[in-house]
Amino acid sequence: MFSVYKLLGSLFFSKNHWDRWTVCVIGTRPSHSFGHPQSPRQGQRPREVKDNPPYDKGAFRIEINFPAEYPFKPPKITFKTKIYHPNIDEKGQVCLPGISAENWKPATKTDQVIQSLIALVNDPQPEHPLRADLAEEYSKDRKKFCKNAEEFTKKYGEKRPVD
């Protein structure tokens, strides 16, 4: 299964608002909590999820952009590392219903967004694809999809730390 473990970088503040971005690596060892040291969200840790194929052969860098209107507008998640997934396009844009403008709720915590992302990666939604070809492959030939995703992850995924 896909997992979020280590935060590389931190959430930065500007004029008492969440700043634009943070970078996480997904698929590495547990270590850091979410949030800036002065953040009210300090100490929120992602829950660990067991690693299984096809995404366990690499790590994935993501970017979370918090708009100036946050928490009244949702953050935007972008994969900076290429991933073979029907709900994540070639530009790294993610189809995640919980952060769409029409579904967003200001009370949603960053940890909930990350957990929704983990769930989406672990359980693709081929009925809402950003990449129709991968959704079709996932639906019609799961074994082939998993093989292709694993090979793609080995080729494009970031190296996983050994510690």
Active site residue ranges = 95
Per the rule left: phi > 0, alpha: psi between -120 and 50, beta: everything else, 11 is beta
What residues have CB less than 8 Å from 58, skipping those under 6 apart? Answer: 27, 81, 153, 154, 156, 157, 158, 159, 160
Q: Which helix (H) or strand (E) holds 3?
A: none
Range list of β-strands (E), 17-75: 17-18, 21-26, 60-65
Contact 19, 66 (CB under 8 A): yes
Helices 132-140, 142-156: axis angle to 10 degrees equals 130
Helix segments in 24-163, DSSP class H: 110-122, 132-140, 142-156
